[in-house]
Structure 1
Amino acid sequence: MVNTDKFASRLGKILKYYDLSAASFADKIEVGRSSISHILSGRNKPSLDFVMKVVKNFPEVELYWLLNGKGEFPASSTSPLIENKNLPQGKPVSSQNVPDEKIQHNNPPQTVSGIPDFKKGKGKDIQRIVIFYTDGSFEAFEN
């Protein structure tokens, strides 16, 4: 679980690093300005959507650092690391820098526990799936 006070502190470091006000930060990641205020004050916890928007718009922010305070900020060129067996030689790469042409989809779509194709009848496409492991690592798969 994310510690709201420490998350707010890390979010403050991001604002200071980029020299942004809370309002301009909210505009940049396309969330309501009150959302930033409520998170910084500790009133609300950040949503997954909020966290992913921060990581997407600010490549120096490591996901695991933002959530748990482990790792570093600003991120070095080798973190956060994911291992993806579909990448050449299983080399670790930043989740932000995986070119679409490097992601291979060799396996046909599968069902999970008898649940039919996720897209069927929903009218929505899956953009990204992120798997978080207990050791703090994660894998990101983009469509």
Structure 2
Amino acid sequence: MKDRLKELLEKENLTPKEFAVLVGIQQSAVSHLLSGRNKPSMDVIQKILRVFKHINPTWLILGDGGMYKSIKPIQGSLFEEKLSTHVNIEANTHKKDENTLKNISEIPVNQVDKFLKTEKKIIRIVVYFSDNSYEEFNH
């Protein structure tokens, strides 16, 4: 299990600290898991799988199969009704986009310039966690 956790951190490009914050467990717990001192509880495994929804649970728990869930291509009959419904939905979406473009073209140029000239930049993000801790990111 420790090797799979190490691989997960490596593939997701995470430090143990970042992983602990994302999953919602203590940094020391991650350290113990990665060293092999402790094995993860079912609660920890569930937290990992809730955060990393694209990870194959069988791989994480048993080491079987690939690390990531496989994406199954949708295959249908040429004359399947669901496929034609899907096309109709996309056609309706396209019509909505055309209407939106018409509405946008009716906006006066001076208002458009006002929005384009606004250069707001994010300078600080604060993330609060359920355990009353927080992490601050500054630009």
More contact order relative to length (CA 8 Å, sep ≥ 6): 1
The normalised TM-score by structure 1 is 0.49
The normalised TM-score by structure 2 is 0.50
Greater share of residues in helix: 2
